[in-house]
Protein backbone atom coordinates (compact mmCIF):
# COMPACT_ATOMS: atom_id res chain seq x y z
CA UNK A 1 0.00 0.00 0.00
CA UNK A 2 1.41 3.40 -0.96
CA UNK A 3 1.99 5.80 1.89
CA UNK A 4 1.70 9.58 1.48
CA UNK A 5 5.04 11.27 0.96
CA UNK A 6 6.34 14.03 3.20
CA UNK A 7 5.81 16.46 0.32
CA UNK A 8 2.13 15.54 -0.05
CA UNK A 9 1.66 15.72 3.70
CA UNK A 10 3.12 19.24 3.80
CA UNK A 11 0.92 20.27 0.87
CA UNK A 12 -2.14 18.96 2.70
CA UNK A 13 -1.27 20.88 5.85
CA UNK A 14 -0.72 24.06 3.80
CA UNK A 15 -4.15 23.62 2.18
CA UNK A 16 -5.79 23.16 5.57
CA UNK A 17 -3.95 26.18 6.98
CA UNK A 18 -4.99 28.36 4.07
CA UNK A 19 -8.60 27.24 4.34
CA UNK A 20 -8.71 27.86 8.10
CA UNK A 21 -6.77 31.11 7.90
CA UNK A 22 -4.08 29.96 10.32
CA UNK A 23 -0.42 29.01 10.17
CA UNK A 24 0.80 25.52 9.27
CA UNK A 25 2.28 25.37 12.78
CA UNK A 26 -1.20 25.82 14.24
CA UNK A 27 -2.54 22.99 12.08
CA UNK A 28 0.30 20.68 13.16
CA UNK A 29 -0.26 21.61 16.78
CA UNK A 30 -3.99 20.88 16.50
CA UNK A 31 -3.29 17.48 14.94
CA UNK A 32 -0.53 16.35 17.27
CA UNK A 33 -1.50 18.04 20.53
CA UNK A 34 -5.17 19.13 20.37
CA UNK A 35 -5.24 20.19 24.02
CA UNK A 36 -2.67 22.88 23.21
CA UNK A 37 -5.13 24.85 21.05
CA UNK A 38 -8.47 26.40 21.90
CA UNK A 39 -11.71 24.50 21.20
CA UNK A 40 -12.81 27.14 18.69
CA UNK A 41 -9.54 26.86 16.76
CA UNK A 42 -9.75 23.07 16.84
CA UNK A 43 -13.24 23.26 15.38
CA UNK A 44 -12.14 25.66 12.63
CA UNK A 45 -9.21 23.46 11.66
CA UNK A 46 -11.43 20.34 11.74
CA UNK A 47 -13.85 22.03 9.33
CA UNK A 48 -10.96 22.95 7.04
CA UNK A 49 -9.62 19.38 7.10
CA UNK A 50 -13.03 18.09 6.05
CA UNK A 51 -13.42 20.74 3.37
CA UNK A 52 -10.10 19.99 1.65
CA UNK A 53 -10.37 16.23 2.19
CA UNK A 54 -7.07 15.97 4.03
CA UNK A 55 -6.36 12.74 5.93
CA UNK A 56 -3.56 13.14 8.51
CA UNK A 57 -0.93 10.41 8.22
CA UNK A 58 -1.19 8.42 11.45
CA UNK A 59 2.38 7.02 11.55
CA UNK A 60 3.80 10.49 11.01
CA UNK A 61 1.68 11.84 13.84
CA UNK A 62 2.86 9.05 16.12
CA UNK A 63 6.49 9.86 15.33
CA UNK A 64 6.03 13.55 15.99
CA UNK A 65 4.00 13.24 19.19
CA UNK A 66 5.03 9.76 20.41
CA UNK A 67 1.30 9.12 20.83
CA UNK A 68 -1.07 7.22 18.56
CA UNK A 69 -4.16 8.83 20.11
CA UNK A 70 -5.61 5.33 20.13
CA UNK A 71 -6.94 3.35 23.08
CA UNK A 72 -7.67 -0.35 23.26
CA UNK A 73 -10.51 -2.10 25.06
CA UNK A 74 -10.74 -5.80 25.90
CA UNK A 75 -14.19 -7.07 26.87
CA UNK A 76 -15.28 -10.66 27.50
CA UNK A 77 -17.92 -10.61 24.75
CA UNK A 78 -19.99 -8.24 22.64
CA UNK A 79 -23.05 -10.50 23.05
CA UNK A 80 -23.64 -8.81 26.40
CA UNK A 81 -25.80 -5.73 25.85
CA UNK A 82 -24.08 -3.88 28.68
CA UNK A 83 -20.68 -4.31 27.06
CA UNK A 84 -21.97 -3.17 23.67
CA UNK A 85 -23.59 -0.11 25.20
CA UNK A 86 -20.50 0.71 27.23
CA UNK A 87 -18.21 0.43 24.22
CA UNK A 88 -20.51 2.74 22.24
CA UNK A 89 -20.33 5.33 25.03
CA UNK A 90 -16.55 5.01 25.27
CA UNK A 91 -16.10 5.40 21.53
CA UNK A 92 -18.39 8.44 21.43
CA UNK A 93 -16.33 10.17 24.10
CA UNK A 94 -12.98 9.25 22.54
CA UNK A 95 -14.12 10.50 19.15
CA UNK A 96 -15.03 13.86 20.72
CA UNK A 97 -11.44 14.31 21.94
CA UNK A 98 -9.69 13.04 18.82
CA UNK A 99 -8.98 9.47 19.92
CA UNK A 100 -9.74 6.20 18.17
CA UNK A 101 -10.72 2.88 19.77
CA UNK A 102 -9.48 -0.64 19.02
CA UNK A 103 -11.80 -3.34 20.39
CA UNK A 104 -11.07 -7.01 21.09
CA UNK A 105 -12.81 -9.79 23.05
CA UNK A 106 -11.47 -12.44 25.40
CA UNK A 107 -14.35 -14.88 25.87
CA UNK A 108 -13.68 -14.79 29.64
CA UNK A 109 -10.35 -16.53 28.92
CA UNK A 110 -7.44 -14.89 30.76
CA UNK A 111 -4.83 -16.32 28.36
CA UNK A 112 -6.73 -14.86 25.42
CA UNK A 113 -7.03 -11.52 27.21
CA UNK A 114 -3.24 -11.46 27.72
CA UNK A 115 -2.62 -12.20 24.04
CA UNK A 116 -5.09 -9.54 22.96
CA UNK A 117 -3.29 -7.04 25.18
CA UNK A 118 0.00 -7.95 23.46
CA UNK A 119 -1.66 -7.45 20.08
CA UNK A 120 -3.05 -4.05 21.03
CA UNK A 121 0.25 -2.86 22.48
CA UNK A 122 1.93 -4.03 19.29
CA UNK A 123 -0.52 -1.85 17.38
CA UNK A 124 0.66 1.14 19.39
CA UNK A 125 -2.30 1.88 21.66
CA UNK A 126 -1.65 4.54 24.27
CA UNK A 127 -3.74 2.87 26.99
CA UNK A 128 -6.12 0.00 27.74
CA UNK A 129 -9.62 -0.31 29.15
CA UNK A 130 -10.06 -3.68 30.88
CA UNK A 131 -13.20 -5.29 32.27
CA UNK A 132 -13.02 -6.04 35.99
CA UNK A 133 -9.91 -6.91 37.99
CA UNK A 134 -9.63 -10.63 37.24
CA UNK A 135 -6.67 -10.84 34.86
CA UNK A 136 -3.77 -13.10 33.90
CA UNK A 137 -0.85 -12.69 36.32
CA UNK A 138 1.35 -11.62 33.42
CA UNK A 139 -0.94 -8.85 32.20
CA UNK A 140 0.02 -6.14 34.68
CA UNK A 141 3.72 -6.90 34.16
CA UNK A 142 3.20 -6.56 30.42
CA UNK A 143 1.51 -3.19 30.87
CA UNK A 144 4.14 -1.95 33.34
CA UNK A 145 7.05 -3.08 31.15
CA UNK A 146 5.59 -1.18 28.20
CA UNK A 147 4.48 1.86 30.24
CA UNK A 148 0.88 1.44 29.08
CA UNK A 149 -1.69 2.93 31.48
CA UNK A 150 -4.92 1.03 32.06
CA UNK A 151 -8.16 1.19 33.99
CA UNK A 152 -10.46 -1.57 35.27
CA UNK A 153 -14.05 -0.76 34.35
CA UNK A 154 -17.25 -2.07 35.93
CA UNK A 155 -15.93 -2.46 39.47
CA UNK A 156 -15.15 -0.27 42.47
CA UNK A 157 -12.25 -1.50 44.61
CA UNK A 158 -10.69 1.41 46.51
CA UNK A 159 -8.47 -0.97 48.48
CA UNK A 160 -6.67 -2.16 45.33
CA UNK A 161 -3.63 -0.30 43.90
CA UNK A 162 -5.10 -0.16 40.40
CA UNK A 163 -7.33 2.46 38.78
CA UNK A 164 -10.99 1.52 38.51
CA UNK A 165 -14.38 3.02 37.75
CA UNK A 166 -17.68 1.33 38.39
CA UNK A 167 -20.39 0.27 40.77
CA UNK A 168 -19.87 -1.58 44.03
CA UNK A 169 -21.36 -4.83 42.76
CA UNK A 170 -21.49 -6.47 46.19
CA UNK A 171 -23.40 -3.57 47.73
CA UNK A 172 -25.79 -3.36 44.78
CA UNK A 173 -26.61 -7.07 44.94
CA UNK A 174 -27.09 -6.77 48.70
CA UNK A 175 -29.67 -4.06 48.04
CA UNK A 176 -31.47 -6.20 45.44
CA UNK A 177 -31.80 -9.15 47.81
CA UNK A 178 -32.73 -6.80 50.64
CA UNK A 179 -35.69 -5.56 48.60
CA UNK A 180 -37.41 -8.95 48.41
CA UNK A 181 -36.55 -9.64 52.05
CA UNK A 182 -38.28 -6.38 52.99
CA UNK A 183 -41.34 -7.58 51.06
CA UNK A 184 -41.48 -10.62 53.33
CA UNK A 185 -39.79 -13.30 51.24
CA UNK A 186 -37.86 -15.96 53.13
CA UNK A 187 -37.31 -18.50 50.35
CA UNK A 188 -34.98 -16.71 47.96
CA UNK A 189 -33.12 -18.37 45.12
CA UNK A 190 -30.18 -17.06 43.10
CA UNK A 191 -29.51 -17.43 39.39
CA UNK A 192 -26.09 -15.91 38.76
CA UNK A 193 -23.70 -15.58 35.86
CA UNK A 194 -20.72 -17.93 35.80
CA UNK A 195 -18.22 -16.76 38.44
CA UNK A 196 -15.09 -18.23 36.84
CA UNK A 197 -12.84 -15.36 35.67
CA UNK A 198 -15.70 -12.95 36.44
CA UNK A 199 -15.17 -10.96 39.63
CA UNK A 200 -18.32 -8.90 39.01
CA UNK A 201 -20.48 -12.03 39.09
CA UNK A 202 -18.67 -13.23 42.20
CA UNK A 203 -19.20 -9.92 43.99
CA UNK A 204 -22.91 -9.98 43.20
CA UNK A 205 -23.30 -13.49 44.56
CA UNK A 206 -21.44 -12.38 47.70
CA UNK A 207 -23.86 -9.46 48.10
CA UNK A 208 -26.90 -11.70 47.69
CA UNK A 209 -25.53 -14.15 50.25
CA UNK A 210 -24.66 -11.41 52.75
CA UNK A 211 -28.23 -10.08 52.69
CA UNK A 212 -29.61 -13.56 53.32
CA UNK A 213 -27.16 -14.28 56.13
CA UNK A 214 -27.84 -10.95 57.86
CA UNK A 215 -31.52 -11.90 58.01
CA UNK A 216 -30.95 -15.46 59.18
CA UNK A 217 -32.06 -16.97 55.88
CA UNK A 218 -30.64 -20.18 54.48
CA UNK A 219 -29.61 -20.78 50.89
CA UNK A 220 -29.84 -24.50 50.11
CA UNK A 221 -27.32 -25.52 47.41
CA UNK A 222 -30.12 -26.35 44.98
CA UNK A 223 -31.43 -22.78 45.22
CA UNK A 224 -28.28 -21.30 43.64
CA UNK A 225 -27.69 -21.93 39.94
CA UNK A 226 -24.86 -20.48 37.80
CA UNK A 227 -25.54 -20.10 34.08
CA UNK A 228 -23.91 -18.63 30.96
CA UNK A 229 -25.25 -15.38 29.51
CA UNK A 230 -28.09 -16.88 27.43
CA UNK A 231 -31.87 -16.96 27.69
CA UNK A 232 -31.91 -20.73 27.14
CA UNK A 233 -29.62 -21.39 30.09
CA UNK A 234 -31.53 -18.93 32.28
CA UNK A 235 -34.81 -20.66 31.42
CA UNK A 236 -33.32 -24.03 32.28
CA UNK A 237 -32.20 -22.68 35.66
CA UNK A 238 -35.67 -21.29 36.31
CA UNK A 239 -37.19 -24.64 35.37
CA UNK A 240 -34.98 -26.32 37.95
CA UNK A 241 -35.99 -23.89 40.71
CA UNK A 242 -39.70 -23.93 39.90
CA UNK A 243 -39.84 -27.73 39.88
CA UNK A 244 -38.40 -28.02 43.38
CA UNK A 245 -40.86 -29.30 45.97
CA UNK A 246 -39.72 -26.57 48.35
CA UNK A 247 -39.28 -23.87 45.72
CA UNK A 248 -38.21 -20.25 46.26
CA UNK A 249 -40.86 -17.53 46.27
CA UNK A 250 -38.35 -14.99 44.92
CA UNK A 251 -35.36 -15.20 42.60
CA UNK A 252 -32.58 -12.61 42.46
CA UNK A 253 -30.61 -12.68 39.22
CA UNK A 254 -27.04 -11.76 38.34
CA UNK A 255 -28.14 -9.68 35.34
CA UNK A 256 -31.27 -8.67 33.44
CA UNK A 257 -30.89 -11.22 30.65
CA UNK A 258 -30.94 -14.01 33.22
CA UNK A 259 -34.02 -12.38 34.77
CA UNK A 260 -35.73 -12.32 31.36
CA UNK A 261 -35.19 -16.07 31.09
CA UNK A 262 -36.68 -16.60 34.55
CA UNK A 263 -39.73 -14.49 33.65
CA UNK A 264 -40.28 -16.37 30.40
CA UNK A 265 -39.99 -19.79 32.01
CA UNK A 266 -42.25 -18.83 34.91
CA UNK A 267 -44.95 -17.79 32.46
CA UNK A 268 -44.54 -20.96 30.39
CA UNK A 269 -44.80 -23.07 33.53
CA UNK A 270 -48.03 -21.42 34.64
CA UNK A 271 -46.63 -19.21 37.39
CA UNK A 272 -47.82 -15.62 37.67
CA UNK A 273 -45.18 -12.96 38.36
CA UNK A 274 -45.25 -11.43 40.94
CA UNK A 275 -48.24 -13.25 42.48
CA UNK A 276 -46.48 -16.63 42.60
CA UNK A 277 -42.87 -15.58 42.13
CA UNK A 278 -40.93 -12.32 42.50
CA UNK A 279 -37.99 -11.70 40.17
CA UNK A 280 -35.19 -9.11 40.44
CA UNK A 281 -32.61 -8.33 37.76
CA UNK A 282 -29.37 -6.36 37.66
CA UNK A 283 -28.27 -3.74 35.04
CA UNK A 284 -31.59 -2.10 34.00
CA UNK A 285 -31.38 -2.81 30.28
CA UNK A 286 -33.80 -0.91 28.03
CA UNK A 287 -36.15 -3.88 27.69
CA UNK A 288 -36.60 -4.17 31.44
CA UNK A 289 -39.10 -1.33 31.68
CA UNK A 290 -41.07 -2.50 28.62
CA UNK A 291 -41.70 -6.11 29.68
CA UNK A 292 -44.99 -7.19 31.20
CA UNK A 293 -44.53 -7.44 34.05
CA UNK A 294 -41.82 -4.81 33.96
CA UNK A 295 -38.65 -5.88 35.75
CA UNK A 296 -37.52 -4.70 39.16
CA UNK A 297 -33.76 -4.32 38.83
CA UNK A 298 -30.58 -2.53 39.85
CA UNK A 299 -29.87 0.47 37.63
CA UNK A 300 -26.21 0.83 36.69
CA UNK A 301 -25.18 4.00 34.74
CA UNK A 302 -23.30 2.15 32.00
CA UNK A 303 -22.77 5.16 29.73
CA UNK A 304 -21.25 7.24 32.53
CA UNK A 305 -19.05 4.37 33.70
CA UNK A 306 -17.39 3.82 30.35
CA UNK A 307 -17.07 7.52 29.55
CA UNK A 308 -15.31 8.04 32.88
CA UNK A 309 -12.92 5.23 31.99
CA UNK A 310 -12.02 7.04 28.77
CA UNK A 311 -11.65 10.35 30.59
CA UNK A 312 -9.27 8.79 33.10
CA UNK A 313 -6.92 7.47 30.41
CA UNK A 314 -7.04 10.59 28.23
CA UNK A 315 -6.31 12.85 31.18
CA UNK A 316 -3.60 10.55 32.51
CA UNK A 317 -1.90 10.55 29.13
CA UNK A 318 -2.07 14.35 29.13
CA UNK A 319 -0.29 14.42 32.49
CA UNK A 320 -3.34 15.68 34.38
CA UNK A 321 -4.22 14.66 37.92
CA UNK A 322 -7.05 12.13 37.94
CA UNK A 323 -9.20 10.21 40.41
CA UNK A 324 -7.74 6.71 40.65
CA UNK A 325 -10.79 4.98 42.17
CA UNK A 326 -14.16 6.36 41.06
CA UNK A 327 -17.41 4.91 42.37
CA UNK A 328 -20.51 5.11 40.19
CA UNK A 329 -23.77 5.13 42.14
CA UNK A 330 -26.40 2.45 41.58
CA UNK A 331 -30.12 2.55 42.38
CA UNK A 332 -32.89 0.04 42.91
CA UNK A 333 -35.69 0.47 40.37
CA UNK A 334 -38.88 -1.11 41.71
CA UNK A 335 -41.30 -2.18 38.99
CA UNK A 336 -43.99 -4.85 38.57
CA UNK A 337 -42.02 -8.08 38.99
CA UNK A 338 -41.79 -7.99 42.80
CA UNK A 339 -44.47 -8.22 45.49
CA UNK A 340 -45.00 -9.87 48.89
CA UNK A 341 -44.88 -13.67 48.82
CA UNK A 342 -48.05 -15.71 48.26
CA UNK A 343 -49.84 -16.51 51.51
CA UNK A 344 -49.78 -20.22 50.79
CA UNK A 345 -45.98 -20.26 50.90
CA UNK A 346 -45.44 -17.93 53.84
Would you state the pLDDT for residue 8? 45
Would you state the pLDDT for residue 39? 86
Fold category of 70-167+302-329 in CATH: Rossmann fold (3.40.50)
In the chain, which stretches have pLDDT less than 70?
A: 1-11, 55-66, 343-346
How many Å apart are CA 141 and CA 69, to the nearest integer?
23
E strands of 80-229, at which residues? 100-105, 127-131, 150-153, 164-166, 188-193, 224-227
Would you state the pLDDT for residue 106? 97
How many Å apart are CA 335 and CA 343, to the nearest integer?
21
> What 3-state class would DSSP assign to 251?
strand
To 10 degrees, what angle do helices 256-268 and 231-242 make? 50
- What is the three-state SS of 25-73? HHHHHHHHCHHHCCHHHHHHHHHHHHHHCCCCCHHHHHHHHCCCCEEEE
Would you state the pLDDT for residue 54? 74
**Its pTM surpasses 0.85:** no
Q: Running DSSP on this structure, what letter comes out for residue 314? A: H
Ranges of CATH 1.10.260.40 domains, the chain: 6-65
How many Å apart are CA 212 and CA 128, to the nearest integer?
37
Would you state the pLDDT for residue 31? 79
How many Å apart are CA 171 and CA 120, to the nearest integer?
34
Would you state the pLDDT for residue 6? 45
Ranges of CATH 3.40.50.2300 domains, the chain: 70-167+302-329, 169-300+332-345
The torsion angles phi and psi of 244, rounded to 5 degrees, stand at -70, 140
Task: CATH number for 6-65: choose from 1.10.1060.10, 1.10.260.40, 3.40.50.1000, 1.10.10.10.
Answer: 1.10.260.40
CB 228 within 8 A of CB 257: no
Query: From residue 143, how far is each of 6, 66, 75 by CA, in Å?
Result: 33, 17, 17
Task: CATH number for 169-300+332-345: choose from 3.30.2270.10, 3.30.460.80, 3.40.50.2300, 3.30.1360.120.
Answer: 3.40.50.2300
- CB neighbours of residue 196 within 10 Å: 11
Amino acid sequence: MNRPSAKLTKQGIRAVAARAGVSTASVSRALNNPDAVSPSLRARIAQAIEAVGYIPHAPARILSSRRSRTLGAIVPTIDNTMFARGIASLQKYLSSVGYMLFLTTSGYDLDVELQQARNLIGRGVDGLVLRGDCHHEGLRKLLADNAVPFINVGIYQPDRPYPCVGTNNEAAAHRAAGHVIELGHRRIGIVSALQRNNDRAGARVAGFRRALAENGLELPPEWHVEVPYTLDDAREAARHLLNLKNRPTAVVCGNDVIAYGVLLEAERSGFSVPRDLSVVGFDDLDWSRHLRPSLTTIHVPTDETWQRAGEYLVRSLAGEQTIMHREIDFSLVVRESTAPPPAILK
